[in-house]
Amino acid sequence: MSLKNLSVKIKIPKILKNKLTHSKVNQIYKKFDKLLDIKDNFIVAVSGGPDSLALAFLSKIYSIKNKLNAKYYIIDHKLRAESTAEAKYVKKLLKKLNINAEILSWRGTKPENNIQSSARAKRLELLFSKCRKLGITNVLLGHHQEDLFENFFIRMLRGSGLKGLISFGKKTKIGNITVLRPLINQKKEDLILVSKKVFGFYVTDPTNDEEKFLRVRVRKLLRELKNDGLSQKKFNNTIVNLKKSNDAIDYYVYKNLESNTFFSHKKKQIIINDKFFDQPYEIVFRSLSDSINLLGKNYYASRGRKIDRVIKNIQKNAFLRCTLGNCIIEKVNQTVIISEER
C-alpha cells in the first residue's frame, strides 16, 4: 500500500505521515506492522531509549491504521538523579507527535543487589496494574534483535533450562496478559535511525557501559562471537530447533494438568492427585510451576530451586506444607492442594 493510499484511507496526521516518507523508516514500519499483527487495544512501555522511542512512533502509526486505542507509559525507575527530568522531556517530545503519555514512577526503597532484574519486574508490575484498570490485555515492549541474543546467553550462563532459553520471543503470556515484542527482529542500529529521524533525540543510559552488570559483559562477548561467525540466521535456526523440543514438552505438560489436576473455582484451589508426580521430571516441574503461577497470579515463575525442593520432598514423602509464589502448598494423604495465600 502506498503512502498516498494509506493517508486517504486512514487519515494519519500530517506530522506523523511526513516521518514515514523516509524510505528506511517506512521499510522498518512495514516489518513492524507485519510482526505485530493484533486487533486489540494495547499499552506501550516507553523509557526514552532509541528502541522504546521507535516503538512509540511505530505503534502510534499502527494504532491509527487499525483504529485501536493505544496507551503510552513512560517508566521512571528513579535509579539515576536525572531520570525524572528525562521522563518529563520524553513526555513533551511524544506530545509533539500527538502521542499522549503518562509517567509511572518506581517509588520506595531500591534494592542494593539485582538492580536491573528488580527494575524489569517493577516495570511489569506498574504496566500490569494499568492493564487491569483499563481492561487491556496487551503490553508492547521495545526489545530488539540484540536483546534476544543477550537474553539467551544470560539465561544460559545462569543455568536456565530449555523453556528459559527460548521464552524470550515475540510473545509471552503472563497470566491473562500478553507481552509483545514487535521489534524482536529489528536491529538496534535501525531503531536508532528511527529515533533520530522522528524525534532527533534519545536517552543514553550510562549503565550500558558498566561491566558490573552481567548484561554489559555478555554484550561485549557477543561482539566477539559475531566477529567469529555468529549470525542472526544461525541463531534463529538454533532457537527454532529448541522451540520444537519445547513444544513437545508443553504437550505432555498440558496432558498431565488435564488428567491429574482439578481446579476448584469456588475454593480457588488446585487439587493434584498422586499420578501427577509419576511423570518425567521436566513435565512435573513445569506442571507444578504453571499451577502456582496460575493461582498466585505471578509476573514471573517461582525460583526453580524452590520448586525442585518441593517436588523432591513430595516424592520422598517428606513434605507437609509450604508457601511459594503467593500460594500455600500442602499435602493431605496422597493429594497435594495448592491454595491462594491470603
| The predicted structure's pLDDT at residue 249 | 95
β-strand pairing of 171-174 with 177-180: antiparallel
Question: Among 184, 87, 83, which residue's Cα sits nearest to residue 140?
Answer: 184
The answer to whether residues 55 and 182 touch, using CB atoms and an 8 Å cutoff, is yes
Phi then psi dihedrals of residue 141, to 5 deg: -115, 155
Q: Is the predicted pLDDT of residue 7 greater than 50, yes or no?
A: no
Q: What b/e readout covers 208-241, taking b as 16+ CB neighbours within 10 angstroms? A: eeeeeeebbebbeebeeeeeeeeeeeebeeebee
Q: Among residues of the chain, what percentage have pLDDT more than 70?
A: 94
Residue 335: enclosing H or E segment and its boundaries?
A: strand 335-340
Q: Distance between CA 261 and CA 82 in Å, rounded?
A: 51
Write the pLDDT tens digit of every residue in 184-231. 989 999 999 999 999 998 887 666 667 777 888 888 888 888 888 878
| The predicted structure's pLDDT at residue 52 | 94
| Torsion angle of C-alpha atoms 39, 42, 48, 54, degrees rounded to 10 | 0
| The predicted structure's pLDDT at residue 206 | 64
Q: Distance between CA 205 and CA 135 in Å, rounded?
A: 32
Write the pLDDT tens digit of every residue in 112-169. 777 777 888 889 999 999 999 999 999 999 999 888 888 888 888 888 888 888 878 8
Write the pLDDT tens digit of every residue in 285-299. 999 999 998 888 765
β-pair partners for 335: 332
* Cβ neighbours of 184 (radius 10 Å): 18
Q: Is the predicted pLDDT of residue 92 greater than 90, yes or no?
A: yes
* Cβ neighbours of 309 (radius 10 Å): 14
Which pLDDT band holds residue 329 (cuts at 50, 70, 90)? very high
